[in-house]
Amino acid sequence: MDYAVLTIDYLGTLVFAISGALAGLRSRFDVFGVFIMALVTAIGGGTLRDLLLGSTPVNWLLHPTYVYIVIGAVALTYLFRTQVVALRRSRFLFDTIGIALYTVAGLQKALDYDLSPLIAVMLGVVSATFGGVIRDVLSGEPPLIFRREIYASACLAGGVVFLLLSTVVGETVSTMTASLVVFLIRFFAVRNKWSLTIPVRKRG
């Protein structure tokens, strides 16, 4: 994994861990519970991706830096709890940044295994969303991926943008652009209440 992808992976781990820690705090979990929420949110999607790729032991078991990042994220969340919680929709913000970063990181790792572009994009979506699924289930909430909100489809759009641009402008610009696309689609979808729900006609 090159330094650019590694940096994205670390940043994604940090913001997802904060998102998970916030969910734990809102559910009134103790410190250990908050840490578990932060951990599964941060590494859940990447773990599933690695298992599907047959990349074992999974990445975070080989590189404990990820666990240290999660511990640091939990500490930051507690130390600056008032400031973080005071941010309007803070969990939404960190979650949106997380899916933007993890979509590209997951896609790039899948491409390193010479998988087809379609499968690579799907694994990028898995990396970005399944940590949040585990977080929401543990919090007793319906997972975002199953709600009406635009979520996984934003990751899908970002993955397609990355594939289209990577052959033209190079990996660095493609990574930044694709991550921005995911973030903006998700941000404005929530702000403007966009959804992809198909209206169902009532009988009678």
Question: What are the tens digits of pLDDT across the range 131-161?
Answer: 989 988 988 888 777 777 788 889 999 999 9
Domain of residue 28, residue span: 3-192
Domains contained in the chain, number: 1
> Does 77 map to a domain?
yes
What global pTM score does this model have? Answer: 0.83
> Does 204 map to a domain?
no
Q: What is the CA radius of gyration of the chain?
A: 17
Which tens digits make up the pLDDT trace of 79-97? 887 776 666 456 677 888 8
Residue 54 has a pLDDT of 92
CB burial of residue 90 (10 Å; 0-12, 13-18, 19+): middle
> Does 198 map to a domain?
no
Residue 121 has a pLDDT of 94
Give the span between the Cα atoms of 2 and 113, in whole angstroms. 14
Judge if the upstream peptide bond of residue 57 is cis by omega within 30 degrees of 0. yes
